[in-house]
Each structure stands twice: as C-alpha cells, then as structure tokens.
Structure 1
Amino acid sequence: MPSNYTPRLRLEMQAAGENINTWGEPRLNNVIARLDYAIAGRTVLALGSAATYVLVASNGDDEARGAILDITSLTTPCVITVPSSPKQYLIRNQGSAPATFTTGAGPTVVVSSGSVVGLFCDGAGVSELGFGGYGLKDYVDRAVLGATGSLPATLGNAGKVLGCDGVSWGPRTLSMSDIADIGAYTAQRNAFALVSSLIF
C-alpha cells in the first residue's frame, strides 16, 4: 500500500517497507516541518481588494495548515473559505475591512479590522472562541450588558454616563436627583471639620 495523507493536517504517512533509505530525509523531515508550521506557523494573506479567497489546502505545503492567519492590506470586505476539516486558527486582521470566515456552509465568523480572533472549525462551520455561547466581542457587548444587547454608541453620547435602571443598561445625562443627598453630605463634612478643629 502506498503512503497516504492524514485528513486534517495532510501529513504524509508511510506504508510499511516504503521509501527505503529516503524515509528520514526528506520524508520524515517534511512531516516534522509541516507539524511545526501547523502548531506555530504564520500564513500572510495579502488580499487587497479581493471579495473572496479560498485557502490553499494540499498534501504538500499549503496556507490552510498554518496556525496563524495574518491578513494584511485588505481594503474591501472579503469572504475567506477554510477547509472543511477540524482545525483551530488564530486570525489577525491588519487590513481596513472585515473578513468573514466560512467553510462554505454552517456558521461563519466576521473578523473586523484591527481584531485578533481565535477561530474554531469543527469541519462543518466556524465559530469564534469565547464564553457562554458568545464570541469574545459579543460576550463583552451582550453578556456583560445583556439587557441592551450591545454597548451604547459613543457618537451622540458625549458627557453622559452608563447607568442601569434595574432593567437595562444605557447612556444617560446626570441630573440633580443623582446628587440629591449632597446637602446632607456637605453638612456632615462641615460638622466633622468643626469638631476636628475644636479638638485639635
């Protein structure tokens, strides 16, 4: 039986008695180099204005094997297709537009400009690593401020504070009722200062 390749990382497996005197070099060294790349390798994706991109996945050296996918120079939204096999990726988007990761079916993940995201492919779709069913950004936006579903926009909310009325979180302007007890507080501080001055 000839050698074949593993289904996930596409590493060459040798058949018994095959490649005599060549199994160590180059074949074993190729497998070690590809394992090294799968664990810590960085694939640079200079995508420019590409609307779609399919990661190269072959039995030799390929883009999809890398542990880190580093997107550079992306200027328009792009859909990037990863192989439909279980794998974990670390994605960094240094471009100026979002990248959507997909297997071509199932769930997708959008990696916005400037983000670093852990991505998990289960062979059917992709998911962002996160907490409580949310990706990290969604966890911050929705789980921490769950009642509103998202953080309030900064535009139009200058000078406001983030407050909770017991039902939901939201931006609001401070009012006199927020400092209604300032008179009692001031009287207490004045009395304390007076007593302190008499004692000392």
Structure 2
Amino acid sequence: MPSSWSPSLRFELQFTGENINLWGEKLNAVLQHADYAVAGWLTKPLSGPAALSTANAGDDEARAAMVKFTGGAGPFTVTIPPVSKSYLVWNACDGPVTLTTGAGATVTVDPGDILWIVTDGGAVKTPGYGGASIKDWVSSVAWSYNAGALPAQAGNAGKFVRTDGSSASWQSLSTSDLSDYAGAVKGLALAFAIAL
C-alpha cells in the first residue's frame, strides 16, 4: 500500500514497511514541513486574485504559519485551502485583502493590519473582535456610543469628552471628575495597550 497524506498540512504518512532505506530522508522532509507550519514565514506579492499553493510531497505556500501580503491598491481576494488551519496574516498591501476558502464566512484584513485568522475548512474567522483588528475593534467600541463621531474640536483644547448617555460634548476637567482617577487611569492604560 502506498503512502497517504495528512489532510490539513499534507504530511506524508508512511505505510508500514514502505520506503526501506529512505525512511530517514522522508522523515526529515516531513519535519521541515512541520517547522514551516509552526514557524514559517511567507511573503506573497499580490497583483490580483490569488490562491495559496498546496503540494503533498513538496513545499507549499498554504503550509506557512505566517503570511505577509504585499502589492498594490487591490482590493485582493486570497483563497486558502478548505482545511482546518490558522494563520497570522499581515496585510502590507495598499488595499484590503479578503481571505476565503471559497465557502462560508470571509475575513477582510485592512492595509497595515495584522490579524490571526482561523478556518474550520469552510468559514474563515478571526478569534474575537468580530472579524476586526484589535485597533479597529477598540475604535468602533470607543466611538459607537456617539454614532462614531467626536464633537467639534475647534476651541476645545484641554477639555475631555463627556457623555450624558445620549450625546457627547467637550467639558473642562473638574475635581469631582478625579474622584475615581485610579480606576480611570487603569481603564485608559488598558484601552491604549489594546489599541496599540
């Protein structure tokens, strides 16, 4: 019986008694592919729609752990294999890159963003944050309470944004605002850490 291949990463699965005197060479090839799947880096230039290559016996792009897309303005669509896998994706293009298996949900990575994406072989998702980068998620949450817009900034230097629950406005800082300063600083530090 001939060798077979693992479904997700296409590692060669040796049949008992097969490849006598070649087993070490084949094992080394599998270990190199495993190393690439865990810590390998792929830079993929884009100029149009693309698919990450796959190959049972050889090197392939889809096995990489981390992928950096480069290219023009796009938008670009990249098809990944319909198997379970995770990737760390960096969009260094000038436009958005959408990742798909060709079926199910997709994830769009904005220019300059780095996202961790996962697929179950159908849908492509990013853990948490509703498919957005951490930076975009924090931004949307922080300003969603004011319909995504800051009050006019002209003439409001040194003031802070305060809301009454229905509208936001710039106000001067008062001593009563400092009553929970320690808690506010912790929350602000966490928000900045997440946003950066």
Equivalent residue number for residue 118 of structure 1 = 116
Distance in 1, matches of 2:96 and 2:32, equals 31
Equivalent residue number for residue 195 of structure 1 = none
User: May I ask how many residue pairs the two structures share in their alignment?
Assistant: 170
Distance in 1, matches of 2:39 and 2:63, equals 10
Tell me how far 1:130 sits from its aligned partner: 2.3
Contact preservation (8 Å) 1:99, 1:110: yes
Tell me how far 1:44 sits from its aligned partner: 1.0
Q: Unaligned regions of 5+ residues in structure 2, if any?
A: 176-196
Secondary structure of the residue that 1:32 maps to in structure 2?
helix
**Residue 53 (structure 1) aligned to one of 50, 55, 59:** 50
1:90-101 paired onto structure 2 within 5 Å? 90-101=88-99
Task: Report the TM-score, using the length of structure 1 for normalisation.
Answer: 0.74
Report the residue type matching 1:8 in the other structure: S
- 1:102-136: CA deviations, max 9, x gaps? 111111111111111111111111011224x5543
**Residue 72 (structure 1) aligned to one of 70, 73, 79:** 70
Change (3 A) 1:167 1:69: same
Which moves more between the two structures, 72-81 or 32-41? 72-81
Tell me how far 1:140 sits from its aligned partner: 1.2
Tell me how far 1:145 sits from its aligned partner: 4.5
Tell me how far 1:164 sits from its aligned partner: 2.1
- 1:11-44: CA deviations, max 9, x gaps? 001000000000001x001000000000000111
Equivalent residue number for residue 164 of structure 2 = 165
Contact preservation (8 Å) 1:130, 1:139: no
- 1:145-180: CA deviations, max 9, x gaps? 453565x379x7556654322246x5x4x3xxx459
Distance in 2, matches of 1:28 and 1:106, equals 35
1:189-200 paired onto structure 2 within 5 Å? none
